[in-house]
Amino acid sequence: MSANLAPVASVSPITDESPTTDGFNLVIDALKLNGIKTIYGLPGIPITDLTRKAQAQGLRVISFRHEQNAGNAAAIAGFMTGQPGVCLTVSAPGFLNGLTALANATTNCFPMILISGSSEREIVDLQQGDYEEMDQVAVAKSLCKAAFRVLNAEDIGVGIARAIRAAVSGRPGGVYLDLPAKLFSQAMDAAAGTASLIKVVDPAPRQIPAPDAVQRALDLLKGAKKPLILLGKGAAYARADADIRALVERSGIPYLPMSMAKGLLPDTHELSAAAARSYVLPEADVVLLIGARLNWLLSHGKGKTWGGKDHKAWGGQKFIQIDISPTEMDSNVRIDAPLVGDIGSCVAALLGGIDAQWPKPPAEWLNAVFDRRNKNVAKMGETLAKDPKPMNFHSALNVVRDIIKANPDAMLVNEGANALDFTRSIVDMYKPRKRLDVGTWGVMGIGMGFAVAAAIESGEPVIAIEGDSAFGFSGMEVETICRYNLPVCVVIMNNNGVYRGTDQNLSGGSDVAPTVFVKDARYEKMMEAFGGVGVYATTPAELRKGIEEAIRSRKPTLINAIIDETAGTESGRITSLNPAAAAKK
Ligand code: ADP
Ligand code: TPW
Ligand code: MG
The CA R_g of the chain, rounded to the nearest whole Å, is 26
Query: Is the separation of the CB atoms in 436 and 412 below 8 Å?
Result: yes
**Is 364 exposed, middle or buried, given 0-12, 13-18 or 19+ CB atoms closer than 10 A?**
exposed
**Residue range 238-290, pLDDT digits in tens:** 999 999 999 999 999 999 999 999 999 999 999 999 999 999 999 999 999 99
Query: How close is the Cα of 469 to the center of ligand 2, in Å?
Result: 6
**Residue range 100-149, pLDDT digits in tens:** 999 999 999 999 999 999 999 999 999 999 999 999 999 999 999 999 99
Mean pLDDT for the stretch of residues 314-341: 98
Query: How close is the Cα of 383 to the center of ligand 1, in Å?
Result: 34
Query: How close is the Cα of 470 to the center of ligand 2, in Å?
Result: 5
> Which position has the higher pLDDT, 581 or 330?
330
**Nearest Cα residue to atom 18 of ligand 1:** 234
Please give the pLDDT value at position 18. 82
Q: Please indicate whether residue 463, judged by its CB atom, sits closer than 6 Å to ligand 2.
A: no
Ligand 2 atom with minimal separation from the 442 CA: 23
- pLDDT bucket at 1, cuts 50 / 70 / 90: very low
Give the domains, in start order, of the chain with CATH numbers. 20-196 (3.40.50.970), 211-371 (3.40.50.1220), 386-584 (3.40.50.970)
Query: How close is the Cα of 52 to the center of ligand 2, in Å?
Result: 36
- pLDDT bucket at 581, cuts 50 / 70 / 90: low
Q: DSSP for 102-113, please give it.
A: HHHHHHHT--EE
Tell me, what DSSP letter sits at residue 272? B
CA distance 400 to 465: 9
Pocket test of ligand 2: the residue of 69, 394, 444 to mutate, having most ligand atoms within 8 Å of its CB, is 444
**Residue range 26-59, pLDDT digits in tens:** 999 999 999 999 999 999 999 999 999 999 999 9
% of the chain surpassing 70 pLDDT: 96
CA distance 228 to 249: 12
Tell me, what DSSP letter sits at residue 516? B
Q: Secondary structure of 393-423 in the HEC alphabet? A: HHHHHHHHHHHHHHCCCCEEEEECCHHHHHH
Q: Where do runs of H (alpha helix) occur along 408-516?
A: 418-426, 447-458, 468-472, 478-483
**Which residues have C-beta within 8 Å of that of residue 15, sequence separation ≥ 6?**
1
| pTM for this prediction | 0.96
Query: How close is the Cα of 109 to the center of ligand 1, in Å?
Result: 7
Nearest to 295 by CA among 169, 102, 442: 442
**Nearest Cα residue to atom 16 of ligand 1:** 171
Nearest to 86 by CA among 160, 194, 180: 160
Q: Please indicate whether residue 470, judged by its CB atom, sits closer than 6 Å to ligand 2.
A: yes
Query: How close is the Cα of 474 to the center of ligand 2, in Å?
Result: 12
Tell me, what DSSP letter sits at residue 457? H
**Is 85 exposed, middle or buried, given 0-12, 13-18 or 19+ CB atoms closer than 10 A?**
buried
Ligand 2 atom with minimal separation from the 100 CA: 1
Task: Establish how many alpha carbons lie within 13 A of residue 297's alpha carbon, considering only the half-sphere containing its beta carbon.
Answer: 18
**Which residues have C-beta within 8 Å of that of residue 239, sequence separation ≥ 6?**
82, 344, 432
Please give the pLDDT value at position 13. 56
Query: How close is the Cα of 498 to the center of ligand 3, in Å?
Result: 4
**Which residues have C-beta within 8 Å of that of residue 573, sequence separation ≥ 6?**
421
Ligand 2 atom with minimal separation from the 420 CA: 16
Query: How close is the Cα of 324 to the center of ligand 1, in Å?
Result: 8
- Ligand showing the shortest atom-to-Cα distance for residue 441: 2
% of the chain surpassing 90 pLDDT: 94
**Nearest Cα residue to atom 23 of ligand 2:** 443
Cα torsion 469, 473, 476, 477 to 10°: value is: -110
Over 80: is that where the pLDDT of 407 sits? Answer: yes
CA distance 313 to 334: 12
- Number of Cβ within 10 Å of residue 212's Cβ equals 8
Over 50: is that where the pLDDT of 73 sits? Answer: yes
Q: Is the dihedral of CA 337, 340, 344, 345 positive or negative?
A: negative
CA distance 116 to 94: 8
**Which residues have C-beta within 8 Å of that of residue 17, sequence separation ≥ 6?**
none
Q: Please indicate whether residue 501, judged by its CB atom, sits closer than 6 Å to ligand 2.
A: no
Strands (E), 218-259: 227-231, 255-257
Nearest to 563 by CA among 516, 469, 496: 496
Please give the pLDDT value at position 582. 60
Query: Is the separation of the CB atoms in 449 and 72 below 8 Å?
Result: yes
Query: How close is the Cα of 439 to the center of ligand 2, in Å?
Result: 13
Q: Please indicate whether residue 443, judged by its CB atom, sits closer than 6 Å to ligand 2.
A: yes
* H and E: helices and strands count for the chain: 23, 19
**Nearest Cα residue to atom 5 of ligand 1:** 292
**Interior/surface letters 287-297, b for 16+ CB within 10 angstroms, e for the rest:** bbbbbbbbeee
Over 50: is that where the pLDDT of 9 sits? Answer: no
CA distance 422 to 402: 15
Q: Please indicate whether residue 568, judged by its CB atom, sits closer than 6 Å to ligand 2.
A: yes
Pocket test of ligand 1: the residue of 81, 83, 171, 328 to mutate, having most ligand atoms within 8 Å of its CB, is 171
Pocket test of ligand 2: the residue of 422, 498, 562, 578 to mutate, having most ligand atoms within 8 Å of its CB, is 498
Containing H/E element for 436? Answer: strand 435-437
Query: How close is the Cα of 231 to the center of ligand 1, in Å?
Result: 9
**Residue range 74-99, pLDDT digits in tens:** 999 999 999 999 999 999 999 999 99
CA distance 131 to 545: 51
CA distance 452 to 321: 34
**What is the pLDDT of the chain when averaged over all its residues?**
96
Please give the pLDDT value at position 311. 87
Query: How close is the Cα of 486 to the center of ligand 1, in Å?
Result: 30
Query: Is the separation of the CB atoms in 409 and 308 below 8 Å?
Result: no
Query: Is the separation of the CB atoms in 193 and 153 below 8 Å?
Result: yes
Over 50: is that where the pLDDT of 3 sits? Answer: no
Terminal CA-CA length for the chain: 77
Ligand 2 atom with minimal separation from the 444 CA: 21
**Nearest Cα residue to atom 1 of ligand 2:** 444
Ligand 2 atom with minimal separation from the 495 CA: 18
CA distance 115 to 163: 10
Please give the pLDDT value at position 16. 65
Containing H/E element for 319? Answer: strand 318-323
CA distance 72 to 568: 27
**Residue range 372-405, pLDDT digits in tens:** 999 999 999 999 999 999 999 999 999 999 999 9
**Is 580 exposed, middle or buried, given 0-12, 13-18 or 19+ CB atoms closer than 10 A?**
exposed
**Nearest Cα residue to atom 11 of ligand 2:** 467
Ligand 1 atom with minimal separation from the 323 CA: 26
**Nearest Cα residue to atom 9 of ligand 1:** 292
Pocket test of ligand 2: the residue of 72, 490, 499 to mutate, having most ligand atoms within 8 Å of its CB, is 499
Residue type, 196: S
Q: Where do runs of H (alpha helix) occur along 337-446?
A: 343-352, 363-385, 393-406, 418-426
- Ligand showing the shortest atom-to-Cα distance for residue 440: 1
Residues touching ligand 1 (Cβ under 6 Å) are 108-109, 171-172, 232-234, 237-238, 258, 260-261, 291-293, 295, 297, 323-325, 328, 342-343, 440
Cα torsion 557, 558, 564, 566 to 10°: value is: 140
Q: Please indicate whether residue 487, judged by its CB atom, sits closer than 6 Å to ligand 2.
A: no
Peptide bond into 46 cis (omega under 30): yes
Ligand 2 atom with minimal separation from the 415 CA: 13
Number of residues that this document lists for the chain: 585
CA 403 from chain centre, in angstroms, equals 22
Give φ, ψ of 233 to 5 degrees: -70, -20
